[in-house]
Structure 1
Amino acid sequence: MLDPLSAPEQVRRRRQVTTLALPRRAPRPGRSHDQPPRWQIYLPLGLYLLFTLIPFYWMLLFAFREPGSDSLVPWPITGQHFEKVWTERSFDTYFVNSLYVGIASMLMTMLVALTGGYALARFRFKLRMPFMLALLTSQFIPGALMLVPLFEIFRELRMLNSLWSVIIAETVFQLPLSMILISGFIRNVPVSLEEQAWVDGCSRLRAFLAIVLPLLRPGLIAVGSFAFVHSWNHFLFALMFLNAQDKQTIPVGLNTLIGSDSVDLGALAAGGVVAAVPVVIVFAFIQKWLITGFSAGAVKG
């Protein structure tokens, strides 16, 4: 016959059984033990957002505030500064020129980068890696160093004071990075899809247009949007290659608003709003495609 358990041992056994029988508390949904409190996430983000939006508010304040007012609220709202820069300062002409340069540079960059990126992604040739290395190293060359050679080239071609000189220069400087990005997007498309189209009787061009090109839409939108924004905002090429006032772009037009002795802050802020609106609209409409394009291009290099 076994000896009975002592009283302390019986109490300990009962506590163990009770502890095992009790259900464990489920973790609170939406929050893990490693996740910091919400205020530690939203507070830095809020401060960063405030720091980012203050310059934009300051620009809108000077653009819509009446001349001579020192109020921190643009009320009553006036459009005198916009009327001044649009009519008296020829910003309507600058806007059309910038739009023409941006769209033309975007289309040319996308077309050449698409063909070059397809060649880098689908074909294997001896100078492929040195060529890609040359594309990458070209990104370390500042555009200002190439102003004098480009000026001499366009002067010999009699293309100075023409918008096409700016378009060609913008396209050349945006091609290396755009071509590398497009080649990464094309590598993500399985080559077996093209091979099936070839078996069905399609040529390489028709298979590319029917199979590969629709799948490259996010990548093309990402590359084209940055090409447009870069051409829209670039200042040096337009300043060096365009002399006539009716050929200048918005960045050069903004520079004309800054005098040697004084600055019209209201007109300058209104011009800045005019220059920023197309960029904001572009990124607002293509945000989903932009994120999808860069996530697709980041899978393979």
Structure 2
Amino acid sequence: MTQDTTRSPDLSATASGPDRAGSGPAGRPPVSRRRKKNRAWDEVPRWHIYLPLGIYLVFTLVPFYWILLFALRPTGSTSLVPWPLTFDHFEKVWTERSFATYFENSLLTGVATLIMTTLVALAGGYALARFDFKVKRWFMLALLCSQFVPGALLLVPLFQIFADLSLINSLMSVIIAETVFQLPLSIILISGFIRNVPYSLEEAAWVDGCSRFTAFRVVVLPMLRPGLVAVGSFAFVHSWNHFLFALMFLNSQDKQTIPVGLNTLMGADSVDLGALAAGGVIAAVPVVIVFAFIQKWLVTGFSAGAVKG
């Protein structure tokens, strides 16, 4: 009998080769390099980090504190501390200056713009992400170029269109104008997010007997939650803060929104700083609350929708 003298390769040496060479798993830097980087980061003095952040925080929070100071301290007071606290300015703007009506109109306009923008952007974004047509590139270019057109440039034709439709002094005119101006960016974001959803998931749903709409509703739509939050919040905040459309298309006081209401607090000869500051706080609080709850979804949605999958 002959003995097989063929030697098998040294698997242990091969497996340990990358470790000896100092390379880590695919796509990751070597362990030694990561450790050196972490040690270098730990050696950075803490004040190099906290000092710039502290300066930035001061520049960010001082204007907010100044607004709260004027809103909460009594009229005529020059103290840098809002004491004794008074809510007279809030009561004045909410009741005497009709801010309750302005708040309701702004909320209605913002929510309606959010819903209309999200629905139309879903349809347009899905078409751009899943279908190929001849003018697709030109359509995308037109969407991008429309972002360079200021809203003030289109006020006259928009006013004429809404006048012909008998929509002047109606909140619907502001809702339509806000939706139209929000759609290009919203469609681009939604289409980028849909591209990151594997097309094979929809095909598998079709094989199981789902229609295209059912597959979109069951498979794709749940995965678009961060993108929908990003688009909806952006549309709501822009509509809530926009001043020009409400000023031009709404005439009566009971139809005005909060930005126009804040403008009415500034007279030709004098400005009620306490009332103006209280109105600014009322205008800012809803937006701050919304962003506090959706910030995680907002960052995820913008980052995912901005990258082509």
Q: Secondary structure at the match of 2:63?
A: helix
Identity of matched residues, %: 78
Q: Secondary structure at the match of 1:207?
A: helix
Aligned partner (choices 170, 173, 182) of residue 190 of structure 2? 182
Is 1:238 the counterpart of 2:227? The answer is no
TM-fit CA distance, 1:30: 5.2
TM-fit CA distance, 1:40: 1.4
Aligned positions, number: 275
- Counterparts of 1:119-158 in structure 2, within 5 Å, are 119-158=127-166
Deviations 1:48-103 (A, max 9, x none): 11001110000000000011110000011100000000000000000000000000
Distance in 2, matches of 1:136 and 1:74, equals 47
Distance in 2, matches of 1:121 and 1:51, equals 42
Aligned partner (choices 53, 58, 67) of residue 75 of structure 2? 67
Which residue matches 1:288? 296
Which residue matches 1:201? 209
Distance in 2, matches of 1:179 and 1:33, equals 41
1:265 is aligned with what amino acid?
A: L
Which residue matches 2:117? 109
Distance in 2, matches of 1:80 and 1:227, equals 33
Which residue matches 2:281? 273
Q: Which moved more, 1:289-298 or 1:235-244?
A: 289-298
TM-fit CA distance, 1:31: 3.6
Is 1:79 the counterpart of 2:87? The answer is yes
TM-fit CA distance, 1:214: 0.1
Rg larger in structure? 1
Which residue matches 1:90? 98
Which residue matches 1:169? 177
In structure 1, list runs of 5 or more residues that go unmatched: 1-26
Q: Is the 8 A contact 2:189 2:306 kept in 1?
A: no
Q: Secondary structure at the match of 1:32?
A: helix
Give me the TM-score of the superposition, normalised by structure 2.
0.87
Distance in 1, matches of 2:156 and 2:307, equals 39
Distance in 2, matches of 1:36 and 1:117, equals 45
Which residue matches 2:4? none
Question: Could you say what the CA RMSD is over the residues aligned between the two structures, in angstroms?
Answer: 1.5
TM-fit CA distance, 1:288: 1.1
Task: Assess, with a 3 A threshold, how the Cα gap between structure 1 residues 150 and 40 changes in structure 2: closer, same or farther.
Answer: same
Give me the TM-score of the superposition, normalised by structure 1.
0.89
